[in-house]
Structure formats: structure tokens, C-alpha cells
Amino acid sequence: MQKVYKPFKFSQIQNSAHFSEIMNEAGLPFPVSADMSVLAEPVQLGNKTIPNRICIQPLEGFDGTREGAPSDLIFRRYNRFAKGGAGLLWYESITIADDGRCNPLQMIIKPSTIKEIKRLVDETDRTAINAFGRKPYNVLQLTHSGRRSVDANWKSTPLAVVANPYIDHHNAIDGQSGTLSFATDEKIEQIIQEFIEAAVLSVEAGFDSVDIKVCHEYILRELLAAFNRPGKFGGSFENRSRALFDIIDGVRKRLGNSIDICVRLNAYDCIPYPHGWGMVKEEGVMAPDLTETIKLCQMLVERDVRLINISTMMPRYQPYGRGYLAELEGSEIHPYKGTYHLLKATKEIKDAVPGGLFVCTGLTWLEQFGGNVGAGGVKEGWFDFAGFGRQAFAYPDFAKDIIEKNTMYHSKTCITCDKCYDLIQKGHTTTGCVIRDQEVYLPLYRKYVQKQG
């Protein structure tokens, strides 16, 4: 089990100036602004307007139907998000193929589920329009889970693209390894086509944009790190990024400009070269090197893929020390350092990629000061959108409080307890906030996590 080091008592931090002081003393000079009004500004992206600079990050609830359609709980989640006021709504990962699910209840985009997915978008938009007179800018995250795939009974069925001694023993979300199979070039070609077909269906469902997911442990991210793979999808930068650009070019060819394209991308993997992306090219060294990440982002912007959401395996991992391995070894993790490094990396990438619009990741760790850091980061040019993940489970109307009251209430924030992860990793069940949304999720936590002791 990992040990997460949490030295700061957020309930005792009085205001953003005090927060700044504490973080500066800890060697973590986050950008901080007491005035968060910058987050209320709309942003123009092509011929569309993103109503404000607050993004709800993709958050899967592991709660679709067996068939892969949205369930009542999914409708409930997006209803809460729509009422909450965030202008950029990044819908959770949805798989492009039946064999690419990371849990047995992940949504699948296919002809038989598209009607219900469209109803989800329509109802969510209508709720936002009723509350604020406008809909959010809607992104759908498309993925194939690759080495994180599981079957209908949660058995790990990992499809890898290259051997990785650091993580081959840990594939599924619950740490199962399963028996690795390796995708042939033909299988990768098939997956590319499936992404393109999924984008076509996304237009039908009414999304503004599709995210070709290149982050976390999923297949397109793994391809970026496939230094040791032979053939057309491995080795050189051109080969490792081929699948991503083939998908983007294929979507444009089929759809022209009828849907925007964006990506969620790992800045760095926190796994050493030659098994991790965005890392110094010296074997075994845990240190980031953003050269290729920046090059990739520049190429994306040249193709008019301007909206880029920067993540890493998990923001709590630092790209130094043990990185991702700390999780597997049970060594101590300092999530505030991890988050600080990731925001700094986002700034470095943004500085080098004019024309890009960048979403940051990890603000939930900063509890009631996440909005102040979001606003500070936008003002100081670190990123363009403040991205919040778990905060939206706990406090779905945080954006409204930021915009209307210039505040985030500590009594409503995510306490970063990780019980939402426990529900999926230990409980193999549907997830949400056990603390702040108790009615639905506390009984599930008691039944599926606590009963295991």
C-alpha cells in the first residue's frame, strides 16, 4: 500500500495569502490569486466559445450498463456537473471497442449505445442552459484500455504494445497482472480505425470535441513510450506517435471540421527511459525531459488540435525519486510536490507552444485553494484552464461558488481521502464521493470495501 504524505492542515489555513506563505515555506511556490474572477472569462476556440476557464476533468464512475450505455447514476453525475457551472465539461473515458474496457461497466461508444449517449448530452446541456443560459463545451474522451483492459468479470486481459519491466506485473486498476498479450501492427491499425469510427459517432451524440486519449496507462500513451517496439509503431518519435496522428488525420478526413479534436496527454510518465515517455533518455534515470512532449504539442497545434489537457500517470507521482514505482513499492508519496511539478511542466510546455490552450491537472489536492491556484496559474500564464477531478465528485458546484462568490468552501471540498479509488480498486464497484455524497456511495463503501477489512 502506498503512504501518502499529507503535512498540511487545510482546515487551519485562513486564506490564500496564508496558503501561499505555507507553500512557499515548503518550497512549493504555486501561483496564487485571491481574486478568481479570471476563471469566469470565456475563451474562444475556433468558432466555438468555452463559457469559462473551469474544467471538470474526466471522471469515470464505473457505472454504465453491461451493454455500455449510460445508467441512471451517470445521468445523475452529469446533471450535478451541469448545475455546477464549469464551462469545460470533459466527459469520462468511453471505450471504442468491446475489448478495450478498463472495467465491466465502462461505457462503450457504438451504434447500440449512441442514442442513450446522445440523450445524456442533451439532458446535461438542457440542465446547464436552465441554470446559466448556456451549455458547456463538451469533450468526449475516447480510449482503448490496452494493458488495463479487463473482461466482464474483472479478470485482467492486458493488451500491451511493448514489454515494460517496471509495470508488467501490475496492469489492471486493482493491480492484477493478467497474461500479457502484445498488439500486432494489424491490431493497432484496427484500433486506429475504431477510434475514427468512434469520433464519427461522437458527432451524432452532439459533442463539441473528441479527446484522443494519450495519457495514463492506456494504449496510445503506451505507444508514445514504445522505444523498444520494432516496426512502424515503435522506436523513433515518428513511429511512436504514428497511431495518434493517423487517428487525427483520419478523423479530419472523415469529418472535416464538424467536430473539434483535442488530447489529454502525459507530460511525463514517471517511469524511466526506455520504458517511459517524457523522461531523460538515460536508462534507469527518473527525471523528466519535456523535449518530445513539446514537439508533440507543437505538431498537434499545427494540425489545429489546440486544446491540450496535461496530465501524468497520477499527479501525486513526482517525476523524480521513485516516481510511479513508489506506488508499487509502498514508499512514501508527496502529492503536493507531484502536483507542483506537473503544473510547472504544464507552464514549460505552454511557454514553448504558442497557440495551444492548456488544461492543468491535480488542483483537487489543494482543497479550498485549488481555485486560487487555478486563477493564479491562468493569470501568470502557466495554463489556460483550471482542471478539477475528484473535486467535482465531492463538490459539484465548486465552479459556481468560485464565479459567484469568489470562494471555495472548505466544508464542501474533497478531503483527498482516496475512498473513490478504494471503491474501484478494492471494491470493484461504482464510485463517487463517499464523504460528501454519502447517500449513494457510503452504503457501497460499507458493503464492498469495509466488509473486506
Ligand X SMILES: Cc1cc2nc3c(=O)[nH]c(=O)nc-3n(C[C@H](O)[C@H](O)[C@H](O)COP(=O)(O)O)c2cc1C
Q: Do residues 233 and 242 touch, judged by C-beta distance below 8 A?
A: yes
- Asked if 97 touches ligand X (CB under 6 A), the answer is no
Give residues with Cβ within 8 angstroms of 272, minimum separation 6.
Answer: 166, 279, 280, 283, 284, 285, 286, 323
Query: Least Å distance between CB 211 and ligand X?
Result: 8
Show the site string, 266-305: x = touches ligand X by CB under 6 A, - = not.
Answer: ----------------------------------------
Does 385 contact ligand X by CB under 6 A? no
> Residue 38 in contact with residue 52, Cβ under 8 Å?
no
By C-beta, is 209 or 229 nearer to ligand X? 209
- Full DSSP string of 116-182: HHHHHHHHHHHHHHHHHSSPPEEEEEEE--GGG-B-TTS-B--EESS--TTTTT--STTS-----EE
Q: How far is the CB of 401 from ligand X (least distance, A)?
A: 16
Stretch that binds ligand X, among 53-61, 66-74, 219-227, 253-261 (CB under 6 A): 53-61
- Per CB under 6 A, the list member of 92, 222, 269, 327 interacting with ligand X is 92
Secondary structure (3-state) at 34? coil
Q: Does residue 58 touch ligand X according to CB under 6 A?
A: yes
421 makes contact with ligand X (CB under 6 A): yes
Site residues for ligand X, window 386-415 (CB under 6 A)?
A: 388-391
* C-alpha to C-alpha distances, 117 to 131, 144, 206, nearest whole angstrom: 21, 18, 9
Give residues with Cβ within 8 angstroms of 378, minimum separation 6: 38, 39, 53, 384, 385, 386
Q: Which residues contact 227 (CB under 8 A, 6 or more apart)?
A: 162, 234, 235, 240, 273, 274, 275
DSSP letters, 45-71, are: ETTEEE--SEEEPP---S---TTS---
At its nearest, how many Å lie between ligand X and the CB of residue 47?
26
Q: Is 364 in the site for ligand X (CB under 6 A)?
A: yes
Q: Which stretch binds ligand X (CB under 6 A): 57-65, 255-263, 271-279, 403-411?
A: 57-65
Which residue, 239 or 425, has its beta carbon nearer to ligand X? Answer: 425
Strand 54-56 to strand 386-388: parallel, antiparallel, or no bridges (unpaired)? parallel
| CA separation for the pair 410, 394 (Å, rounded) | 11
- Smallest gap from Cβ 416 to ligand X, in A, equals 7
The pairing of beta strand 260-266 with beta strand 307-311: parallel
Beta carbon nearer to ligand X, 234 or 370? 370
Q: What is the rounded distance in angstroms from the CA atom of residue 132 to the CA atom of residue 350?
A: 30
Establish if 365 lies at the interface with ligand X (CB under 6 A).
yes
**Considering the complex, what minimum distance in angstroms separates the CB of residue 90 from ligand X?**
8
Helix 370-379 and helix 398-405: axis angle, to 10°? 60
Using CB under 6 A as the binding rule, whether residue 362 contacts ligand X is answered as yes
- The nearer residue to ligand X, 45 or 420, going by C-beta atoms, is 420
Using the rule CB under 6 A, give the single segment among 71-79, 108-116, 245-253, 360-368 that binds ligand X.
360-368
141 binds ligand X (CB under 6 A): yes
Per rule CB under 6 A, count of chain residues that contact ligand X: 24
Nearer to ligand X (CB atom), residue 233 or residue 365: 365
Indicate whether 57 belongs to the interface with ligand X (CB under 6 A). yes
Residue 346 makes contact with ligand X by CB under 6 A: no
Q: Is 311 in the site for ligand X (CB under 6 A)?
A: yes
Q: Write the binding mask 1 to 40 for ligand X: x where contact by CB under 6 A, - elsewhere.
A: ----------------------------------------
Asked if 217 interacts with ligand X (CB under 6 A), we say no
Q: Which stretch binds ligand X (CB under 6 A): 32-40, 47-55, 124-132, 355-363?
A: 355-363
C-beta of residue 319 within 8 angstroms of C-beta of residue 362: no
Choice between 103 and 127, CB closer to ligand X: 103
* SS3 state of residue 248: helix
Residues at the site binding ligand X, with contacts judged by CB under 6 A: 57-60, 92-93, 141, 215-216, 264, 311, 315, 361-365, 388-391, 420-421, 431
